[in-house]
Amino acid sequence: MKRKTTYWALCIIAISMAALTAYDFNKQNSEVVVYTPASTGITTNLLYPTLVPDRIILNLTNDPTHSVAVNWRTDTTVIQSKAQVAAATHGPEFLKNIRDIKANRELLTHKPENDPEVSAAYHSAIIDGLEPGAKYVYRVGSEDYWSEWFQITMPEPEKKISFVYFGDAQTNVKSMWSRVIRQSYAAIPDVDFMLHAGDLINRHDRDIEWGEWFHAGSFIHAMVPSVMTPGNHEYKDVVLSPQWKKQFNLPSNGPKGIEELEETCYQVNYPNLKIISLDGEQIDESEEFRNAQRDWVDSILTHDPRQWTAITFHYPMFSTKPNRDNVKLREEFKPIFDKHKVDIVLQGHDHAYGRGFVKNEVEGVNVKDQIYGTVYVVSVSGPKQYEVSDDPWMDRRAANTQLFQIITIEGEKLSYGAYTATGELYDAFDLLKSANKPNKMINEIPDIKERTELKK
């Protein structure tokens, strides 16, 4: 009897040890989905890094026709990593002409409130020396732990440039925003970049939410460069998400000498298009940083203009939500936009859709004019929805609708289409540009009833 008791006791101990070992292994390597405490409902394959690169993302650089920035994440045991790039070929012969690019490495250990602590190594590299219109393959990793080879095509802005613009994703990102970014890629797989107007996630520092955002975009993030401006949900108490500068590799060419605005307020320059990101939260919270951004955007539009200008920031210049009005933002920045005849402003925050063509005059800021002005857009791509107002500045509006917008610039014409999550065209217009003349608006709104009812 004693032998049987000892035998079963040893079996129980062995099984327990095996279970603990398996848990630790899975926690580090994510080969099997393991759930953390039920109160979080978090799976390790979205949370914990491994030796294999994950959360791979391309960002636009200062020179987006000749280079791309790439970031990825591993566990902290990976010390040296790199990107490899080659000209794409019809078969595997590109492997004979690989160029190595050494990556930078940063560590981050962070424990959000009520979530597990996560330690990760974040890697970044600039893949440069690329040619407009050429096709390349690249991968990232180290030693025996590599990503797949991704194929990318460099833009040819002299011919045409297209990008997708998203308003807030913010909540239910894995389950309900994923279909929007994937539908946008299905609609225009050869898009040049994607632009996110803030509130990518809901709580600024939750690694699981960032994991869901990367999961939703999956390989799209690694094949189509992104630019993003922070929203209020990327901040807490005026402190930017600790993951922001680690997991993204955005230009640091904003107002000089202000660290707080690096990689949140910046510009990207194509030969015919200037994209400007303003940090809306810092505009709202800090007079110093508001003034710095105002003076900076005035300066770059004066001394380094492009044929087309698109500006993005999170808080709307003109709101779509009833009883919400960002007067200070409009007072400080609309005169600058009017002065430089900014073409289009892309915003989020209000969780409804609105688009209007607003006259470039300081007086009568709600006056619409169909022959010149700036187009202001507020949009939402995630499932969190607010009521939409009936303010007169809007030519088209929507509630209870997840959308993405495709913007294409070809010569003297900017074409815009707003699509619902199912891929249905909901709003459209063309802007026509002539030398020394104001833009002309041609509305092409489809014959579909406005979706103005908020359904809960």
Distance, CA of 351 to CA of 336 (rounded, Å): 26
Cα separation of the two ends of the chain: 65
Closest among 357, 442, 348, 345 to 404, alpha carbons compared? 348
List of E strands, 243-314: 266-269, 273-277, 308-312
Structure token pair of residue 130: 């690329």
Per DSSP, the three-state class of 330 is helix
Q: Provide mean pLDDT across the span 179-194.
A: 98
pLDDT at 430: 97
pLDDT at 437: 83
| Architecture of the domain delimited by 49-153 | Sandwich (2.60)
Contact between 147 and 140 under an 8 Å Cβ cutoff? The reply is yes
pLDDT at 42: 54
pLDDT at 314: 98
With 0-12 / 13-18 / 19 or more C-beta atoms within 10 angstroms meaning exposed / middle / buried, residue 53 is buried
Q: Provide mean pLDDT across the span 426-436.
A: 93
| Domain spans of the chain, in order of start | 49-153, 161-443
Contact between 189 and 219 under an 8 Å Cβ cutoff? The reply is no
Contact between 317 and 311 under an 8 Å Cβ cutoff? The reply is no
Structure token pair of residue 8: 């079963």
Instruction: Give 14-41 pLDDT, tens digit per residue.
Output: 444 443 333 332 333 333 333 343 334 4
With 0-12 / 13-18 / 19 or more C-beta atoms within 10 angstroms meaning exposed / middle / buried, residue 102 is exposed
Per DSSP, the three-state class of 119 is strand
Q: In the structure, what pLDDT confidence band is assigned to residue 43 with cuts at 50, 70 and 90?
A: low
Instruction: Give 372-392 pLDDT, tens digit per residue.
Output: 689 999 999 999 999 999 999
Q: In the structure, what pLDDT confidence band is assigned to residue 443 with cuts at 50, 70 and 90?
A: very high
Structure token pair of residue 445: 């709104």
- CATH of the domain spanning 161-443: 3.60.21.10
Cβ neighbours around 295 below 10 Å, total: 12
Instruction: With a cut of 80, say whether residue 252 has pLDDT above it.
Output: yes
Instruction: With a cut of 50, say whether residue 425 has pLDDT above it.
Output: yes
Instruction: With a cut of 60, say whether residue 429 has pLDDT above it.
Output: yes
Q: In the structure, what pLDDT confidence band is assigned to residue 361 with cuts at 50, 70 and 90?
A: low
Cβ neighbours around 163 below 10 Å, total: 25
Structure token pair of residue 54: 């994950």
> H-helix or E-strand containing 358?
strand 353-358
CA geometry: angle 445, 450, 453, nearest 5 deg: 160
**Percent of the chain at pLDDT above 90?**
83
pLDDT at 436: 79
pLDDT at 3: 45
Per DSSP, the three-state class of 52 is coil
The CA–CA distances, whole Å, from 442 to 175, 395, 422, 425, 428 equal 37, 12, 25, 16, 9
Cβ neighbours around 307 below 10 Å, total: 16
Contact between 84 and 139 under an 8 Å Cβ cutoff? The reply is yes
Distance of CA 67 to the CA centre of its chain: 18
Q: Provide mean pLDDT across the span 176-187.
A: 98
Instruction: Give 109-125 pLDDT, tens digit per residue.
Output: 999 999 999 999 999 99
Instruction: With a cut of 60, say whether residue 173 has pLDDT above it.
Output: yes
Q: Provide mean pLDDT across the span 356-365.
A: 68
Distance, CA of 357 to CA of 371 (rounded, Å): 9
Q: In the structure, what pLDDT confidence band is assigned to residue 456 with cuts at 50, 70 and 90?
A: low
The whole-chain average pLDDT of the chain stands at 90
Structure token pair of residue 15: 């099984």
Distance, CA of 241 to CA of 259 (rounded, Å): 14
pLDDT at 372: 62
Instruction: Give 301-328 pLDDT, tens digit per residue.
Output: 999 999 999 999 999 999 999 999 999 9
pTM: 0.89
Instruction: With a cut of 50, say whether residue 367 has pLDDT above it.
Output: no
Per DSSP, the three-state class of 16 is helix
